Structure 1
């Protein structure tokens, strides 16, 4: 019997990117309060699925409250504008104020008209271009806004607002490499120009693109700047510790994590990060003690469940599956609504051979999260291992309707294919298993595909699939089936080579001796074949006894 394939639920990750980014309006005296920034990231350390959480990402908007203000002093070493700036006349300053007031009131067509008139009167003054750019952006005219920000940048090359806002447009249009370059330029220009809130805004935009690139070393430097600006921001401190850990500086992150936990002892994300750091340092026992300590500090069952699940992961990674099951079971008791805890418990129970217990746990996970394709696939796999073939097929089919990710899709198709084979629906089995293999190479899927083709007497296809299975994982089952398929296609020397290898490795393998005898007999080597059949017969192989008559 081909061994049941255990399915592991993989953690996914979500990275939330801002749909829009706040436009800096500081040339016009605009300030917009910063929103919380952050992301969700997943890293894997020492075989443990570690979800490292950050604070929510900005959902910014175009500023609505412009006010005229004098431009900040330009650094002495800043680049000079391409053309000389013509000062505004009194009448032009009045027109600028009118345009800004219209923008502030949300009267964008009126503001646009006023800014365009001012540009026609004095093209070389940057304020008019900047105001028009903001107005066009508010009207979702990214192309026009980009043109005006480019003119502003040419007329005020030492100002950070130009590259920053061009970076915002690049981000909105998915040109992330260009956005990173522009935000980096803005960050280099903003010193001594921007107030703290605007500096953080630039740094947060830069951090978003560095995170997108997974450039955690650069992200660490950027977040160090954020925490310098706002040393009391605990979320920023956590993100800095996280970035250091992701960049391979876990030990350097420890002081910051402990300092954060002293100020906020019940922060689960910090406790999980602390455990991750110790695991990566090869200190799982220390990680477990830190998780136990944190479980005593948190105030609700949901938080304790998260800590217990991480404890379960660490115990499983070190081979203590019994302890891992107990920790996952405790997590389900602490938070009876945590579907992940039930799914993890099901996975661990299946690993320990407790298939009825795994079935109960996965049923709980599916009940709590009926739209999870991964949990439904795990349930289908356990049902298959219990011989509940029809139910397994139904669960797999339902999982396929739930828009699974690529890995889950391959697993669900695998279960569907094996279920079809066991119901003698060989054509359906081949279709599902071929689809599974296209998405993820798998020795098990290739083995069942070969068996399905063999059942349909398509021996050439069977040999091809079984050869792939052997290539991926040369199990005895796969090799014996491949030898059978090779015999069926009259490839006797190849079949003999495989069978001889099997009997050499395992002299008490009766089936292998029988296959060797068939290969030898097919090549007219009667004496050798009889000796092989005799070896198989002595080991209890009934067909070999028949062959000797």
Structure 2
């Protein structure tokens, strides 16, 4: 989809599922989404570590992998004695009750008595994790991993530590290992918790193919979880498998016909498949199913964007008008309507739409700046400058900042405030260089008789976009700076391209006269005069 000045996000929402209650002593990491194409719900808070009602059966000891420098060979595990089993249960109860100092002492005592048993290491690791002692906790989980390599709890909790420390690639690897070990061995809720942690890191890494596989496992665990099914459809779409995601999206809509995010995703998929008309029809159908005007407005606004991307500006305007009728409090819809009306050539209508957007969202710098730009185009110069100045007070993003400074600069130039114009346009060019900004910066410098500065700015404008206007203004600045040969070269190019450009012929005559080539100069002046240039006629006298 094409993006306009007021950008419309793709609309893919990976809703974070809350962490499931663990079947064993598991910690869980908060979900953090980092994809800028995704809108994510707030990450769930870190849940308390649950405690099993009974002590788990000790896992048999496993010899450490050969060549692993992090662990030394350990003796075979001796089964816990009845007294040790009772102490283990006491330690786990203390952990569950938040009595961390007591739990730590009990687990450490058990480890001293029977080091090769994995369960005390597990409990001590969780206790240290709860105390925020990540390095010590990691050591215990590493011991657990060596003693019981078939258990998922060790890599899972090592992944939690890696996430907390910002080692996200390590976390991704560890959660993947835990997910493999948990498959078919852990309870459904616990396996899902592990998979959700893996999904979080895959989202962070932008591994949407891997995320699709993980979410497919989550859906298999709970086929009735509609949110998980929708997330799977999103992941497949982001992985470039939009067509493969269609069955999941339609299933979501069959279960929840009024679901707006699913309808938007469906439209995005059809657009990505080169079928914008199908996308529009699906949005129209969804608009008839939703239950309130706010949702209908969102769907109609997406329809407007799709139509605009296909070049149907009139249809886009009509859809945006429908959107604001459905929800008269939807500031973004009014702003988009204003943008579309500008494209449609209706600047007065655009100004009215932007005014409503600003009224609804007075702290939105982008809306104020867009309104200022329309005012400038309509000749409302002073008010345009005031709007731009107000937008600059709202701490806009860099693109909006540069645009507001541009409007402010042009407005100042038109009001004869050349120093203010130069300052604003110089700031705009520094933030977001553009040919138009450099053109107006050059004009402002020229008006201040800063001919060297004018030539520099206009040279940049020509470099970015060598339009005849920019080149002719550059030639004027070069003449004023007494750089006659350079000016002549530019002007010869202009008259060769357009022999009827009377102003270029006149300026060429000035360049030739300044170089004491009077015969050539008079011929250029005559050509300009014959084309109606009054200044050239004066130069011939």
TM normalised by structure 1 equals 0.88
* Paired position in structure 1 for 2:290: 298
Query: Greater CA deviation, 169-178 or 232-241?
Result: 169-178
Give per-residue Cα distances to partners, 1:231-254, cap 9 Å, x unaligned: 111111111111111111112222
- Superposition deviation, residue 413 in structure 1: 2.3
1:328 Cα deviation after fit: 0.7
Structure 2 unaligned regions, length at least 5: none
Quote the offset at 1:344 in angstroms: 0.2
CA displacement, residues 58-115 of structure 1 (integer Å, 9 cap, x when unaligned): 3332324444442587899996985233433332222221121112112223223322
Shift in CA distance, 412/100, structure 1 to aligned 2, threshold 3 Å:
same
Deviates more, 1:440-449 or 1:114-123: 114-123
Change (3 A) 1:409 1:40: same
Quote the residue 1:140 is aligned against: 132
Q: 1:350 to 1:68 in 2, by over 3 A?
A: same
> How far 1:343 moved relative to its partner?
0.6
Structure 1 distance, partners of 2:274, 2:207, is: 24
Q: Quote the residue 1:59 is aligned against.
A: 45
Whether the aligned pair in 1 keeps the contact of 2:192 and 2:218 (CA below 8 Å) is yes
- Which one is further off, 129-138 or 359-368? 129-138
> Which residue pairs with 2:178 in the alignment?
186
Q: Give the match for residue 435 of structure 2.
A: 443
Aligned to 2:450: 458
Residue 535 of structure 1 deviates from its aligned partner by 2.4
Q: Kindly indicate whether the alpha-carbon contact (under 8 Å) linking 2:199 and 2:211 is maintained by their aligned counterparts in 1.
A: yes
Pairs within 5 Å for 1:74-473: 82-84=73-75, 85-473=77-465
1:499–1:271: structure 2 CA closer, same or farther, 3 Å change rule? same
The DSSP-based 3-state class of the residue aligned with 1:454 is helix
CA 351–160 in structure 1, closer or farther in 2 if over 3 Å, else same: same
Alignment CA distance shift 1:90-1:282 (3 Å):
same
Q: Post-superposition shift, 1:405?
A: 2.2
Counterpart among 2, 5, 9 of residue 6 in structure 2: 9
User: Is 1:70 paired with 2:56?
Assistant: yes
Matches of 1:218 and 1:403, distance apart in 2: 39
Q: Rate the CA distance shift 1:466–1:7 in 2: closer, same or farther, 3 A.
A: farther
Return 60-69 or 128-137, whichever deviates more: 60-69
The DSSP-based 3-state class of the residue aligned with 1:158 is coil
Distance in 1 between the 2:454 and 2:500 partners?
A: 26
Number of aligned residue pairs: give it: 533
Secondary structure of the structure 2 residue equivalent to 1:315: helix
- In 1, Cα distance between equivalents of 2:29 and 2:117: 32
Which one of 476, 483, 502 corresponds to residue 491 of structure 1? Answer: 483
Question: How large is the RMSD of aligned CA atoms in angstroms?
Answer: 3.2
CA distance in 1, matches of 2:34, 2:323: 22
Structure 2 contact 58–118 (Cα < 8 Å) conserved: no
The CA deviation at 1:206 is 1.5
Q: How far does the alpha carbon of each residue in 1:244-265 deviate from its partner, in whole angstroms, 9 at most, with x for none? A: 1111111222222222222222
Indicate whether 1:517 and 2:487 are aligned: no
1:163 CA displacement: 1.5
- State the 1:467 CA deviation: 1.4
1:345 deviates by 0.7
Describe the SS at the equivalent of 2:433: coil
Post-superposition offset of 1:324: 0.9
Inter-CA distance 39–517: structure 2 relative to 1 (3 Å threshold): same
Contact 1:480 1:512 in 2 (8 A): yes
Change over 3 Å in CA distance of 1:263–1:41 after alignment to 2: farther
1:357-401 deviation per Cα after TM superposition (whole angstroms, max 9, x unaligned): 212111211222222222222122222222333333333233233
Residues 177-196 of structure 1, C-alpha deviation per residue, up to 9 Å, x if partnerless? 22112112212222232212
Q: Deviations over 1:26-63 (max 9, x none)?
A: 5xx3479x9997959665xxxxxxxx656664333232
- Contact 2:22–2:50, Cα closer than 8 Å, also in 1: no
